[in-house]
Structure 1
């Protein structure tokens, strides 16, 4: 295997994940088997217990790992399921080394950062590549050079150059070049200092990718190359674009793909970038525009809904439409002003989440969409909310609720899953990863998944609560359509409810799963694609296939 290591400097949140993803896309477009690995230097075992406002969404892999959101970017750009073990954290590494020490695997040895911690890091990187059957592994090191937490990981990748050979390794450093509007200057000094810091730990970058508002002038790029000892022609710009799917094309036009070929001694290949070119063409000249309201509680942090936003974008591209999102904070939605919050929107989406904050606003939102025939898509908690609202309004169970929000409710139509009752601890203990969903024949869901006569599809999950099976028949008798269930669960009567819908509504569909985790630019999630098409019909326009 060959390895590309992506590091960052100056400030965090420069877009290393998108750079890593774009590199993968360029190599995939050349026909190589590629995978990507994210290193997070925090001591948490995984991202599962972190606040969305601080860290963004928790992305769930097919195997059930709760990972950094960059793994989602990798899957979308590489059009593949990233294998387990591809999100490496300090917590995982130290936990394993300490467990081995306690088991006596290091008898007579003093366990140290070098070689024991660095060897474990290298083992995990190589194993992730082997699991994916990759020819090229792209490794993103989180944080910035100079962070004390990153030191063991930088040392490990430094060693890998000697282990694997210069022709099999490449170091790409992402940095910031500020632009001063007042003096109309690009300031390269932060980049020079960042590279100097990287070189102080024994790593010299083979290429530099500069984050800037606009593409760097050639004289500035040459100056950076000179002062950082990088070969001329190996300084590239990650400049502001309207959509991240423009970046693979931008990098290819700047020659990044050719530099990677040369560094890793790859055959020169003309890449097939048609997927990205087609997507960009639709986004720049769409036939329609669709306005979707996202009613949640993390609205001040769009990255908390990263995969969901990307899924809507994929669906908009497939429907030849420009996506316009309106954020609605459900903590602020009251009975008196609910119409104002959704004025001018074509459809309403209620996403997943945890905790009681903003719940009543979400319930009001579901009722507003149901009563006013506005297309509605509920995801995870968004499905549970729709069930609570239906139980209250249609089944006349006025105090219906979830046991997550009200343990004393006489009608807990949403309850803790039986297998969760004995669970101890929070991390990695939910129903996670890919699970089958049996789609009922003759339903809207069957139409959405192209299985009109019924069938089984796979979607990803991340939840502890489910529709209480004791209320399923009552809900069905009142007209709620249970259009998807988990097959093979006999103890729950009809099975765990996976999806619901309404018959007398243009589009009211909700799923317990998170289909956004499997959406790709080239293969949009079926529920999201159908949802955007319904939004266009709501405004009186039929979808136009891109």
Structure 2
């Protein structure tokens, strides 16, 4: 029988529910349970695919090609699992399904309402994940903050789920901010109290509270929270500031959260939890004594670092394995087009990564960075649009095709070395219509990429509409560009240069499959080239 944990948030958004949810999942997985995890987003978008990164952060792509919330990246990295389209539920998906059923007459003439029709659909989507994945425990993180209008149907659905299920099958974990006033040295619990009151007003009593704060809770503050929330002190936990989010499972385990959840769900622990390998990884990430390396990350959304969250984490995974300390130099690509000071950052960098991103804004800045890396023998990694612009730069400056470009940036270019995929030419809707998800890549032997992966065929996740124009591939190769990986139908997937310390670009997004204990090979190879290994 599947058990359910519902994680809610209070006081403000971005309080760390995703990290806490992933941490809970890890605590339970280490005890031998099969855990599934869902992110519920109350916005009306069907998925995150059409949203600007400044609005939403990174769009995380799953194996089956779903464009989802970045929290699914946390889940995959912490639990070392692959999520799917079923693991991200949005209000848009729910209402779309309810309206579809209404149009098909599935409700037999009923007046379709939030209760029971919308809430029933939400419950079906949550329980379906447990059925598909044969889960012992399903964790559902409800995005946003208690009190948000758009979140009410989801909270109501979870309240109903607790009624529907047998006793001990559903518990609620509430994550809320406890503000620390540095002037007086006080922890203020009133906002957390109000958020719990709001939950109780709609019929949900938290079983466990996780207080998010700068400093660790003291016993007096814990007792005060207990008094005003009707949650016993031993079920109130502290998620305080740590050097890395990967440390959160360890501090919660130390406080006994895993055992308390097992008790609340009336489960018998299957394994003795061991966090030895995880602890080693956390210590290596926290270690600041290793060799420091400066890496320039060139993108058009660098003012919000979460726009490239998986890439940042992939760098930390590989750095940990190699015992080095990465110093990330974020460079806005538009600044490279007009600001000489931004160009000086390239001179400081020991390695350059050109980040993904669509559209013309900042494209020439990225090309400038690629040109610098190629001509100065600086280790370079290009991801998705980074590969396409690396081809543009090579075509302009090596083949001599002045004005060469991608048709995404310049539809009238005389040398369209990057062009729209054939299957994209008739696409009229933007949501969920790119080349998405896990795709097979055939690696060429005797190439750098092949040596990094050590396999003839690999699978990496994709998210793009444009490709290297096949008409130019022979010419590019004749001038020294190596196509080191191709798709089943011959699309360029990987490129590299032979006489360069490390010049590799990929159409794929290898960052999505990087794990703390299994770094992505391209990131490991990139960093090894920087330190000369």
TM-score, length of structure 1 as denominator length: 0.95
- 2:394 match: 390
Q: Aligned with 1:309: secondary structure?
A: helix
Q: Aligned with 2:461: secondary structure?
A: strand
- Which range moves more in the overlay, 328-337 or 222-231? 328-337
Tell me, in whole angstroms, the C-alpha distance in 2 between the residues paired with 1:165 and 1:266. Answer: 13
How far did residue 83 of structure 1 move? 2.6
Tell me, in whole angstroms, the C-alpha distance in 1 between the residues paired with 2:479 and 2:171. Answer: 62
Tell me, in whole angstroms, the C-alpha distance in 1 between the residues paired with 2:146 and 2:437. Answer: 33
- 1:354 match: 358
How far did residue 166 of structure 1 move? 2.9
Q: Aligned with 2:8: secondary structure?
A: strand
Aligned 8 A contact 1:248 1:276 in 2:
no
- 1:409 match: 413
Work out whether 1:502 is the aligned partner of 2:500.
no
Tell me, in whole angstroms, the C-alpha distance in 2 between the residues paired with 1:339 and 1:87. Answer: 40
Aligned 8 A contact 2:336 2:343 in 1:
no
Work out whether 1:330 is the aligned partner of 2:333.
yes
Q: Deviations over 1:340-382 (max 9, x none)?
A: 1223321000011011111111001001000110000000000
Aligned 8 A contact 1:437 1:458 in 2:
yes
Work out whether 1:270 is the aligned partner of 2:298.
no
Tell me, in whole angstroms, the C-alpha distance in 1 between the residues paired with 2:154 and 2:52. Answer: 24
Q: Deviations over 1:289-323 (max 9, x none)?
A: 22211011111000000111111110111111122
Tell me, in whole angstroms, the C-alpha distance in 1 between the residues paired with 2:293 and 2:223. Answer: 44
Tell me, in whole angstroms, the C-alpha distance in 2 between the residues paired with 1:283 and 1:498. Answer: 31
Tell me, in whole angstroms, the C-alpha distance in 1 between the residues paired with 2:438 and 2:501. Answer: 29
- Which range moves more in the overlay, 386-395 or 110-119? 110-119
Tell me, in whole angstroms, the C-alpha distance in 1 between the residues paired with 2:320 and 2:434. Answer: 33
Work out whether 1:521 is the aligned partner of 2:524.
no
Tell me, in whole angstroms, the C-alpha distance in 2 between the residues paired with 1:281 and 1:18. Answer: 18
- 1:174-185 equivalent positions in 2, closer than 5 A: 174-185=175-186
Aligned 8 A contact 1:22 1:77 in 2:
yes
- Which range moves more in the overlay, 327-336 or 22-31? 327-336
- 1:479-494 equivalent positions in 2, closer than 5 A: 479-487=480-488, 489=489
Aligned 8 A contact 1:3 1:136 in 2:
yes
TM-score, length of structure 2 as denominator length: 0.98
Tell me, in whole angstroms, the C-alpha distance in 2 between the residues paired with 1:407 and 1:232. Answer: 63
- 2:192 match: 191
- Which range moves more in the overlay, 461-470 or 315-324? 315-324
Tell me, in whole angstroms, the C-alpha distance in 1 between the residues paired with 2:277 and 2:132. Answer: 26
Q: Aligned with 1:342: secondary structure?
A: helix
Tell me, in whole angstroms, the C-alpha distance in 2 between the residues paired with 1:222 and 1:390. Answer: 65
- 1:236 match: 237
Q: Aligned with 1:282: secondary structure?
A: helix
Aligned 8 A contact 1:391 1:397 in 2:
yes
Q: Deviations over 1:467-487 (max 9, x none)?
A: 000000000000000000002
- 1:129 match: 130
- 1:288 match: 291
- 2:380 match: 376
How far did residue 272 of structure 1 move? 1.5
Tell me, in whole angstroms, the C-alpha distance in 2 between the residues paired with 1:296 and 1:477. Answer: 30
How far did residue 9 of structure 1 move? 0.7
Structure 2, unaligned runs of 5 or more: none
How far did residue 426 of structure 1 move? 0.5
Aligned 8 A contact 2:483 2:495 in 1:
yes
Aligned 8 A contact 1:171 1:207 in 2:
yes
How far did residue 288 of structure 1 move? 2.1
Aligned residues: 529
Aligned 8 A contact 2:486 2:492 in 1:
yes
Aligned 8 A contact 2:6 2:141 in 1:
yes
- 1:7-46 equivalent positions in 2, closer than 5 A: 7-46=8-47
Q: Aligned with 1:397: secondary structure?
A: coil
Aligned 8 A contact 1:83 1:132 in 2:
no
Q: Aligned with 2:237: secondary structure?
A: strand
Structure 1, unaligned runs of 5 or more: 490-494
Q: Deviations over 1:414-458 (max 9, x none)?
A: 00000000111110000000000000010001001013xxx1100
Q: Residue 11 and residue 338 in structure 1: after superposition, are their counterparts in 2 closer, same or farther (change >3 A)?
A: closer
Tell me, in whole angstroms, the C-alpha distance in 1 between the residues paired with 2:454 and 2:415. Answer: 35
Tell me, in whole angstroms, the C-alpha distance in 1 between the residues paired with 2:341 and 2:198. Answer: 54
Work out whether 1:536 is the aligned partner of 2:531.
yes
Over the residues paired in the alignment, what is the CA RMSD in angstroms? Answer: 1.1
Tell me, in whole angstroms, the C-alpha distance in 2 between the residues paired with 1:36 and 1:300. Answer: 29
Tell me, in whole angstroms, the C-alpha distance in 2 between the residues paired with 1:106 and 1:140. Answer: 29
Q: Deviations over 1:105-142 (max 9, x none)?
A: 11131111111111100000011122222111000001
Q: Deviations over 1:55-89 (max 9, x none)?
A: 10100000000000001111111100013211111
- 1:492 match: none
How far did residue 337 of structure 1 move? 5.1
